[in-house]
Chains A and B, each alone.
Chain A
């Protein structure tokens, strides 16, 4: 083997372990699970028929997609200023902000959910404080409903938004903003017309990451949500662990996977998502 050929091969060899891991630990199991969803004696599509005809399933799919999208949007609104500050702050302040974002991230999901319940329930800290300040009478419904789910999910997903955003922001050359100002743009105009567009890839990447990961949420909606906050992952878990109906769990997973891919395709079509990954 010539040196050139070896050099050409090296990148592939480096990719190989990751590729094998993904193929063996992800693609294969998911493929098998989805395959079982077509193998019922009563017909290949019975499980899909059930999803389409039984009331509830499609509603859960929609609920999963909308809750994930809402979480992503909230993360962007809260995460953008955070990432901006993170980038401008002095090293010590930056470390503190990072710590505040990451400590909850490292905390057990269940512990965090109980924590939210303690804070948000009608007798909880938030409502009690608001009552004492005379701002409300009675209590605000902050938990055991969609509000609770969104609060819990947004907090968990925030790092996935802040970190890619901060990375993109740190690469923006400060002189670009100066140039805009010297050409007569107001600070607001320079921010909106120059800075924001430059951070767009980070924002889109964050949105996508938060959205995709949120689709699989399970513990948080179950604990902080109301009766209507059933997400697809809960139904998949129920079918795997309670009724041992793997084929049906497989079909639910397939529906989730396909709707995610369709959304990604649409996003790519209209927002050019693939630019995020460096493709032209």
Chain B
């Protein structure tokens, strides 16, 4: 998911510095102007992935929300699961809303780190239909996908997942995400002839067997920036990479095409950590972010798909076409079995690591 999934360590340093600066700035400001302090009583802390994504949210969501409700939104970065757990278990929850990947919907609930969503405030009616998008403890935020991008010299390019695994037809390296839930196990099974409707629970040994057939042609990427680089300079000719990164590379002149028909749809979720200090305001924000207007606004500001189908109607066709969940993917995208992943990530990772090491 583009900028947002940079590995945690990579963000640590600049973020810390930025935060310290921000804090220093805020405290100076507060000391100088008591009036500002009072206004901060209705402030919401949103733990985000930072970067250009946060900037987009600020314009599309935070500013209009503040204008409407008077509730300020302060963002912090470093939204790792470990920190949520440490915070909640120390009884010092400072964050009101955290954006997370969907596996945390279950991991977080199981570890009792989350507040239930108040669905009398948050209207889940307009949210896209789909298994597990909404849970007792989470609402979806935006849609994104991992999809197949390929080098133009392979044109017409892979049309099926079997093509992706056919190194005779399309010679060259394949770029896959290094983590087990990077959709390559799913892709391997589909390439091996598994019916998409019967994908989950994943037959991991079968997937690994299929992956073994192209083992030497797989190049794992650790960060999404790396994925974009591999595709841009031709180190890899086919990549299963985040749609945002593929679009970004293409618009910057990378020699790649995007196969919207071969995609795995997933989403990011918003959760409220247990004992969040401003629960009420948090629920109000979640309700706001899920309105068709807000969803259309974020889809215009950043290349993520709205989770509210109605928002697609408010987008120009050429925008809707490139977004996850949009017309080009309709009926073709495989929805990632995030619940299964939430429950099986540890065990499957163990198997995948053993396979990598063998």
A110 to B7, CA, bound (A): 10
A236-262 interface bits toward B, Cβ cutoff 8 Å, 1 = contact, 0 = none: 011111111110000000000000000
Residue in contact with B10 in the complex, picked from A121, A219, A242, CB distance below 8 Å: A219
Let me know if A60 and B357 touch, CB within 8 A: yes
A163 to B225, CA, bound (A): 34
A187-221 interface bits toward B, Cβ cutoff 8 Å, 1 = contact, 0 = none: 00000000000000000000000000000001100
**A144-B219 contact given A123-B233, A123-B234, CB 8 Å threshold:** yes
Closest Cβ of chain B to A84, distance in Å, is: 34
Q: In the assembled complex, which residues on chain A have CB atoms less than 8 Å from the CB atom of B353?
A: 56, 60, 230, 235
* A227, CB-defined interface residue at 8 Å: yes
For this complex, into which size category does the number of interface residues on chain B fall? Answer: 20 to 34
* B220, CB-defined interface residue at 8 Å: yes
**A237-B8 contact given A227-B218, A242-B81, CB 8 Å threshold:** yes
Let me know if A59 and B178 touch, CB within 8 A: no
* B321, CB-defined interface residue at 8 Å: no
For this complex, into which size category does the number of interface residues on chain A fall? Answer: 20 to 34
* A272, CB-defined interface residue at 8 Å: no
Q: In the assembled complex, which residues on chain A have CB atoms less than 8 Å from the CB atom of B350?
A: 54, 56
B67-81 interface bits toward A, Cβ cutoff 8 Å, 1 = contact, 0 = none: 000000000000011
A108 to B353, CA, bound (A): 28
Write the chain B residue with the least CB distance to A222. Answer: B222
CB within 8 Å of A: which B226-246 residues: 226, 229, 233-235
Let me know if B345 and A242 touch, CB within 8 A: yes
* B346, CB-defined interface residue at 8 Å: yes
B307-348 interface bits toward A, Cβ cutoff 8 Å, 1 = contact, 0 = none: 000000000000000000000000000000000000001100
Let me know if B9 and A228 touch, CB within 8 A: no
A222 to B178, CA, bound (A): 9
Residue in contact with B356 in the complex, picked from A114, A227, A239, CB distance below 8 Å: A227
Residue in contact with B354 in the complex, picked from A54, A108, A243, CB distance below 8 Å: A54
Could you list 14 A-B pairs, sorted by A, with CB under 8 Å?
A54-B354, A60-B353, A109-B9, A110-B10, A117-B226, A123-B233, A222-B7, A230-B353, A237-B8, A238-B349, A241-B81, A242-B179, A243-B107, A245-B346
Question: Contact residues of A with B, CB < 8 Å?
Answer: 54-56, 59-60, 63, 108-110, 114, 117, 121-123, 144, 218-219, 222-223, 226-228, 230, 235, 237-246
